[in-house]
Chains A and B, each alone.
Chain A
């Protein structure tokens, strides 16, 4: 598994300065941070929720929370890493999700809509994979996205999902096996 993708810098050398200005209360600087990082956060939220509406809400929630917690960011990790972790926790702890989750079963039609709306023309196999991921059961999808797409380790996933490392591994194996079967059809 490659190094965590969240750790890869997405902002230039001026990024730290922008963070400092935002920490001083400069909303314009925070908007710059939003413009730099929103695509990354939205992609994560979209894959974790398989819902455009929820991904938009959770992206907004993440940035509002980031503004509120900005003073606690000390620059020890990259801002992108800190923000990414905040986004994951926002999705996992989303209370609005609970009501929807009681009923939500992502159908193939829903998944196709997500794919058509957001996936730019690319090889067919990737579109199929996006569609298949959207149809996974929630916990299996979460672990697969965090581990195989985002590059988190099982220890980190277990901590974020408040579960055991063994459960995280079991969900990943289930997700991969289900995806393999879906894609082999």
Chain B
């Protein structure tokens, strides 16, 4: 067993999920390897610290007035028993949802034609990235700027988006964000892996395309 194999087993070993045979092999390695002993010790300390963390933290302002107001507003509303938007027109919402789903799928495979200035500049960065002229850090910085602008413009009129369509968009964003998160984690461990870097840049691009499409949809509603 080498150090990498050993370190891959540390968490399961600590949590008592490693079989006796593998545990014995790991313990033999630990006996002979001070570096792995130290790493395992650090992990154990970390878990012990986490268990001892204080469970109570006071908010810096009194949250009760806001809670009381919302409860009292809710009580007042429940007495009037208004018919909400959610109780009518569900077939219309379903149609919009279906249309949104189709459009999202389309947006993921077809390049969006009407790019904003920010999106255009990101495209140039992608081109530079593909030619090895732009660093990942520079591309990320550009991505952050573009998504920030898009999120701001979406946020301004997001309430106009039907709930069902919003849920579908959110679902797609969740998937893309998971991929971004996974790539980021993997890159922390292997920062020079070019395949991981490409994967991350691709998922950034997909997210920007989806946000851009959503922003455009909102302008048409």
Contacts and interface: CB of A to CB of B under 8 A. Distances in A.
A184 B45 CA distance: 12
Contacts of A139: 178, 181
A178 B185 contact: yes
Interface stretch (A11-19, A53-61, A71-79): A53-61
B144 A46 contact: no
Interface string B158-189: 10000000000010011001100100110011
A129 B50 contact: yes
B57 A42 contact: yes
A108 interface: no
Report the interface size class on chain B.
Answer: 35 or more
Contacts of B181: 137-140
Contacts of A105: 144
Contacts of A55: 59
Contacts, number: 126
Given A2-B51, A64-B71, A56 B46 contact: no
B32 interface: no
Majority secondary structure, A binding face: helix
Nearest to B16: A1
Contact of A176 (B47, B52, B174, B185): B47
A41 to B, nearest CB: 9
Interface in A1-57: 1-2, 5, 27, 30-31, 34-35, 38-40, 42-43, 46, 52, 55-56
A60 B63 contact: yes
B190 interface: no
Contact of B63 (A40, A59, A130, A137): A59
B147 interface: yes
Interface string A125-166: 110011000000111100010001101000000000000000
A112 B39 CA distance: 26
Nearest to B158: A99
B77 to A, nearest CB: 12
B49 A98 contact: no
B85 interface: no
Contacts of B72: 27
B54 A102 contact: no
A116 to B, nearest CB: 12
B56 A43 contact: yes
A60 B50 contact: no
Contacts of A85: none
A56 B63 contact: yes
A126 B51 CA distance: 11
B147 A149 contact: no
B205 interface: no
Shortest 4 CB-CB distances between A and B: which pairs?
A39-B56, A148-B50, A43-B57, A173-B11
22 contacts: A2-B51, A5-B55, A42-B57, A42-B59, A43-B54, A43-B55, A43-B57, A55-B59, A56-B61, A64-B74, A67-B74, A101-B177, A102-B147, A102-B177, A117-B60, A119-B57, A149-B51, A173-B11, A176-B11, A180-B43, A181-B188, A183-B42
Interface of B: 11-12, 15, 39, 42-43, 46-47, 49-61, 63-64, 66-68, 70-72, 74, 144, 147-148, 151, 154-155, 158, 170, 173-174, 177-178, 181, 184-185, 188-189, 207, 211
Given A1-B51, A144-B50, 11 more contacts: A34-B64, A35-B64, A39-B58, A67-B67, A67-B71, A103-B147, A118-B57, A122-B54, A126-B53, A129-B53, A180-B42
